[in-house]
Structure 1
Amino acid sequence: MRAVERVFHSVSFEVIAVTLSIAGLAAFTEHDIAALSGTMIVIASVAMVWNYAFNWVFDLYVKGDKTKRTFSMRLFHVILFEAGLLVLTIPIMAYLLSVSLWNAFLMDLGVTIFITIYAFLFNLSYDHIRAAVIQRRACNNQV
């Protein structure tokens, strides 16, 4: 993937994730769209910074070829990442939405579960759509 495509992938992932998270929270809470929108934009920004910092530190401690990491190491990685993100974002969500830490935890946990499933489906779909586009371009160039 070239840099422009990586930016497109990341931005489209985040825009859709934030939009769907806002809609989901609006459906299950009493908060207005404006408060949820601001909150989710802040949470997504924190997540992007955390992603960079966490993976940098993780890679300092877990050496070796990343393609050879075991399933259990990958599971450990994602659980540690998500736990750290929850620790960072629960107080932010509680403050911005004026809810208790417990309510923020429940809301944030719901978003985390959703984002995990969404990330899997988004990347699976993106990979297949990308392959189809590349194949179509190759066919058009041969004609």
Structure 2
Amino acid sequence: MADARPVVDPDVDLHVPAQRAELARTPWAVLAAISAGGVAGACGRYALALALPRQPDQFPWATLLTNVSGCLLIGVLMVLITEVRPAHRLVRPFLGVGVLGGYTTFSTYAVEVQRLVAAGAAGTGLVYLAGTLVAALAAVAAGQALTRRLARRGRPR
């Protein structure tokens, strides 16, 4: 028998009354922002994949570039909207969840690792598997650090 519990966004804590009330009041605005952003992000990812085509046994540069650049941008975004300047309530759903969520892709990353292994390029798959993780985490940290540094420069002393 199917589970009857509703699916919940992990960014929303329904135990927090303010978040529960916000979701009940305006779910369509948030869903529209996420959807519109997702379309834009997915189109960007697709364009990058078309620009950098590859064979099944070749290193997947397009997906690596997509995921690492998306992680850099999420580092920048989160500093901007949480530390530099408060943002409109739809900025994070649109840019963070929508655009960057649609742009980055864990599923393609996982499938590409599997395809590399299946094509006899297990070494390349292992380098890609570990390299993406390290590069993505470094990109988030770099995006945060760079944005914080630039934000400090822009503030009057």
TM-score by length of 1: 0.36
TM-score by length of 2: 0.34
Greater relative contact order (CA < 8 Å, ≥ 6 in sequence): 2
Higher helix share: 1
